[in-house]
Amino acid sequence: MAIEDVNTGQNPAITRAPPELRSASKYLNAVGGKYDPGSGFSKQAVLGIAVTKEMDFIELAALSEMLVCELIECSNPVARLALLGKLSATLERLHAVLLAPVPAHRLEQLSATSLPIEEPFCIGSDALMLTNYCQHLVRVLLTGILPPVDQQGLTGLTFDLLHHLGEVLRTPSFTRTAEGYRDRGGGIVEPGI
């Protein structure tokens, strides 16, 4: 029987990651903000990245992408549950962060001189809606009651939706004007902290 950490209830052998890999921010800065499955991160390292209140929506989306990339390749039931649990917690935090104002540094990063008049149609271009879809899929996968073929299908769907969500969140959505930042609808956007 594995020894559990009394503070987290998790097996430290699974969740312990080298200090240089514990920060999604450091990793994301190194790779330009998008997860690269060939980066050499292991399941253990990805599970060891802490979900903190300081993480913004770009970092949380990238961590979700990391987790689902590992999940889609995972055949070990225990590691799969650990990845799903971590993904569920990450999506809960992402949902909360999406309800908050956009941080000032992200407004700058996600601004362009002009935006397309019309967004191309896609299933779920609203980040909150996509996050909710993913949360529901992860909850179903966590139950473990589906046959393996259905689990594989829902894991693939979660993978696709999370990667689409990451692209939606990294796409410029604001323009800078003399009055400040404006969103796609023309409303003034006040930066968060």
pLDDT for 188 beyond 90: no
pLDDT of 41 reads 57
Percent of the chain with pLDDT over 70: 73
pLDDT of 4 reads 37
Q: Give residue-wise pLDDT tens across range 7-20.
A: 444 433 333 333 44
In the predicted model, what is the mean pLDDT of the chain? 79
pLDDT bucket at 47, cuts 50 / 70 / 90: confident
Percent of the chain with pLDDT over 90: 45
> What's the rounded mean pLDDT across residues 70-94?
94
**DSSP labels for the chain?**
-PPPPTTT-S-HHHH---GGGS-HHHHHHHHTTS--GGG---HHHHHHS---TT--HHHHHHHHHHHHHHHHH---HHHHHHHHHHHHHHHHHHHHHHTSPPBHHHHHHTEES---SSPPP-S---HHHHHHHHHHHHHHHHH--S-HHHHHHHHHHHHHHHHHHHHHHHS--EEEETTEEE-TTS-EE--B-
pLDDT for 32 beyond 60: no
Of the candidate ranges 71-80, 103-112, 123-132, 155-164, the one whose mean pLDDT is the lowest: 123-132
pLDDT for 116 beyond 80: no
pLDDT of 183 reads 84
pLDDT bucket at 115, cuts 50 / 70 / 90: confident
pLDDT for 30 beyond 90: no
Of the candidate ranges 98-102, 131-135, 182-186, the one whose mean pLDDT is the lowest: 182-186
Q: Give residue-wise pLDDT tens across range 126-163.
A: 899 999 999 999 999 999 999 999 999 999 999 999 99
pLDDT for 21 beyond 50: no
